[in-house]
Amino acid sequence: MVNKKKGAGNQLLSSNEKKKRSGALIGAAFLMATSAVGPGFLTQTAVFTESLLASFGFVILVSILLDIGAQMNVWRIITVSGKPGQDIANAVLPGLGYVVAVFIVIGGLAFNIGNIGGTGLGLNAMLGLDVKIGAVISAALAIFIFLSKEAGAAMDQIVKWLGGILLILIAYVMIVSQPPVGEAVLRTFVPIKLDIYAIITIVGGTVGGYITFSGGHRLLDAGITGKESIPEVNRTSIMGIGVASLVRIMLFLAVLGVVSKGVSLDPTNPAATVFQYAAGEIGFRLFGLVLWVAGITSVVGAAYTSVSFLTSFSKKIEKYKNYWIIGFIIFSTVVFVFIGNAATLLVLAGALNGLILPLTLGSMLLAANNKKIMGDYKHPLWLTVSGIIVVILTAVLGVRTLIQMLPQLF
């Protein structure tokens, strides 16, 4: 049954309700974008740019088109059905939603341990703090958000402002690195090198795992559901991809500006090399701030979204959701401080994460034309086709990754 109760359009809302609705829409876009822009995103972009040079612009262009197809599919189906991702999957095939939830939570936990580590490394580069102390301080700040009675609204504001800071800092480094913009534009449309693996990896890094559901589930929490919300949801989903892609493009140009001068990136921390070479010691401190912002927003996004997938297991989890989110962050921090990045868990998460997007998006596409789930809603053919393309591409990469990574577990 489609949930229409909360899906009232803007026409009947008071000015205060419209403001809250607008804040939730923008917050959902930035939650998704900043969840994507984690520490791994920075490294990934630097490594691929060094390898493909200006031709990486083509990879970004193709990935943006695929990202939009994946994101609009997921957000529209969640919004119209009024159900979270795992409930939709359960409606398509009983039990599938619980499998998806387990995959999401394992992946979210492993990556959150890495995100917590990223915040510690960021404060270490920026202020010289011990990495573990920096991680604990950052976790405490993330926890503080969810102690608020208006945690959703607080999260919307924080990810929006921190996302803005991220854009400004990377834009500055992009400018001072003096990239060959003309060459980048040309090779975006006429690449010299082509790497399909890079395209699939970038798509997975932007909308894979829990990431694309972060904004969709935030919209549900804000009561934004129903067919009448589709125009707003479409704009918001594209905004989320747009923000994440803008960060990717500017970082790509910043890295290109450095490597085009013959500089080799430090393989242990390629993104830091870019900032330090472009802006000296100040650049290295700025990198610390960028890494911290990327880490802390990803901690918030991973914890919030992972727990949102657990709410179907028990009504008590839904009732005490903020405390579960806090517990998720505390557990991730404790593991990082006392164990480290938990290599085995990261390997397992990496193996499973590649299967999450094809599994979840595939179930969404099956739900899109199911009247019991979607009512009289008609899903656009172009979205179905673009979604199928993403499912096939990411399934191929997911199986390949699983085969490569499982031997590391034994």
The domain containing residue 89 runs over which residues?
A: 30-408
CB 108 within 8 A of CB 210: yes
With respect to residue 366, please indicate whether it lies within any of the assigned structural domains. Answer: yes
The rounded distance, in Å, linking the Cα atoms of 164 and 313 is: 36
Q: Which long-range contacts (CB under 8 A, 24 or more apart) does 313-321 make?
A: 313/98, 313/101
* 5 vs 223, higher pLDDT: 223
Q: What is the pLDDT of residue 403?
A: 77
Q: Helix (H) and strand (E) counts for the chain?
A: 17, 0
318 in a domain, yes or no? Answer: yes
- Asked if residue 39 is part of any domain, the answer here is yes
Task: Count how many domains the chain has.
Answer: 1
Q: What is the pLDDT of residues 269-304, one digit of tens each?
A: 888 899 999 888 898 999 999 999 999 999 999 999
Q: How far apart are CA 75 and CA 79, in angstroms?
A: 6
Dump pLDDT digits (tens) for 361-408.
899 999 998 888 888 888 999 999 989 988 888 888 778 777 776 676
Note the pLDDT tens digit of each residue in 115-157: 898 899 999 999 999 999 999 999 999 999 998 878 778 888 8
The verdict on residue 143 lying in a domain is yes
Task: State how far the Cα of 396 lies from the Cα of 375, in Å rounded to an integer.
Answer: 32
Percent of the chain with pLDDT over 90: 42
| C-beta of residue 45 within 8 angstroms of C-beta of residue 174 | no
- Give a yes or no: residue 23 inside a domain: no
CB-CB neighbours of 242 under 10 Å: 16
Share of the chain above pLDDT 70, in %: 91
| 10 occurs within a structural domain | no
Q: What is the DSSP letter of 1?
A: -
Q: Are 292 and 89 in contact (CB under 8 A)?
A: no
Query: Of the candidates 236, 240, 215, 206, which has an alpha carbon nearest to the alpha carbon of residue 78?
Result: 215
Please check the confidence at residue 6 and state whether its pLDDT lies above 50: no
Domain membership flag for residue 397: yes
pLDDT score recorded for residue 344: 59
Point out the least confidently predicted range of 15-24, 102-111, 215-224, 345-354. 345-354
Residue 8 in any domain: the answer is: no
Residue 316 contacts by C-beta under 8 Å, 6 or more apart in sequence?
none
Query: What's the CATH number where 109 sits?
Result: 1.20.1740.10
